[in-house]
Structure 1
Amino acid sequence: MNTPIGVFDSGIGGLSVLRALQKALPHERFVYLADNAHAPYGEKSEAFVRERTETIAAHLLAQHHIKALVVACNTATAAAIHELRAQHPQLPLVGVEPALKPALALSRTGHIGVIATRGTVASDKFARLLASVQGEAHFVVQACNGLALAIEQSTLPDQAMAAQAQISHLLRSYTEAMGRFGTGPGDIDTMVLGCTHYVFVEDDLRQLLGPGVQLLSTGEAVARQTQRLLAAAGLLNTQDANSSARSMRLMTTGDLQGLQAAAMRWLGLPPELCEAAPAKLQT
């Protein structure tokens, strides 16, 4: 089935998931929507995030006839995935959540760090996830206010330098607050990236935390789950892979130049694949 898979995030963070999806599903078409005009979701109310999520899902279904939807945002998943499943029971839906359970298998010290947005950390869904693994390891959870926004701003030419300085400051401040990182007894040896934006500052984190600390994101797991759901529903595209120009479409409710820069920087996609989302989605 050659209709596209919908992917959306509050901004550019979901591009890290899109990258994994494209690699795992090279025959598929994708339409990506970045809700930059309302980013970051992690610092908005749950009701607001739920309303935006439902509006964007309805748009992607009506205008792009998507065959599956990947909610490539931890905050939106926590706030709205259950409602989306109830509203669209026939639509294969994949959300993202912090990789706490996979982290258990990797950690040798039993001390695991989790960084995420305030909205994710405060959600009932995250509380249930954390409760499900309590007692199996010691989890240090840190809400990182401002980090997703700084990563968004780092793609804008006139804000890039200031944003990068802010990223460095925030990462150092938040990781220092979490405790000691390393491979010794009591050290945090595994860090869960609980926001899709944070994948794009992995290099900065590695410099701060050292080579012995493992970083866990969710893109590959989401891609595998998407592939499983499409296969089970008989929706996988069996045609030859399309060229990127025909198989990818990216939209933003915010700054088009920022999305173009991010798509080029992290996915190697040309600017002409990016466009402004319809005006009704921008307000």
Structure 2
Amino acid sequence: MKEILNETLTGERALFQDNELRISGTVFDDGEAPLKHTRYIELSDCTFKSKYFLWYSNFIKLKDCRIDESGCDGMWYTSDVNISDTVIDAPKTFRRSKGISLRNVQFTNSNETLWKCNNIRMYNVKVKGDYLGMDCDGMEISGLELDGDHCFDGARNITVRNSVINSRDAFWNTENVIIYDSTIKGDYFGWNSRNIVLVNCIVESHQGMCYIENLSMRNCKLPNTDLAFEYSTVNADIRGHIDSIKNPTCGIIQASSVGEMILEKDKVDITRTKIICAEKTE
């Protein structure tokens, strides 16, 4: 492979259509699309300040790199991208890409990142920003720390483990989601979704778990959660108290206690839902 060491590259399409490069200690400064239409590129200790730097590129590796805020829209229409130990300050980093592996990556301003992407692996990733992962398909996530609203809207086929997610409107319009050993905080969790499973999770939500078809919760806790399960089909095993439950469509809900049960006969068939708890407090 050709090596490029400790350079500063500027201008439009500095390395356009170059293949099989090993680039280290290099700054991609003023200009756009320096690595557009490239293949088999390895980058280490590089800084990206230019926009659109890896479009239509395949088989890309980044390690110990930094993408500045000015490097927005950085990797679109790319495939087979492996990023590790890297800080990304730019928004809109991935769009319509596939085969993405992120390990020990920090997104400090991830607004509208990972949209319409397929086959994504995320390990020990920290994210700050809204609308992460919209309309993605096939995500394996472990050790995610997310602080940003509207995450994973419209995404499908997701597995999440050992993560902490602070997000309003998280997992809306999703399908086939399994979440293990994680904490989720934010209003309106999971609306308009199908086939959601949570195992050993803590969910804190106002009007959470509503409008879900086939919701399963096993050994979960719902602190500070009210008006839960409205118009949802649910099988929930909750360890602890639920502040209030409102008009589930059908299913079984077990909890240590429920503060208020709002079951309106003119809204739902209340005979289709069974609520089991040790005590009820008004």
TM-score by length of structure 1 reads: 0.19
TM-score by length of structure 2 reads: 0.19
Larger helix percent: 1
For CA contacts below 8 A with separation 6 or more, give which structure has more relative contact order.
1
Larger strand percent: 2
Work out which of the two has the higher radius of gyration on C-alpha atoms and give 1 or 2: 2
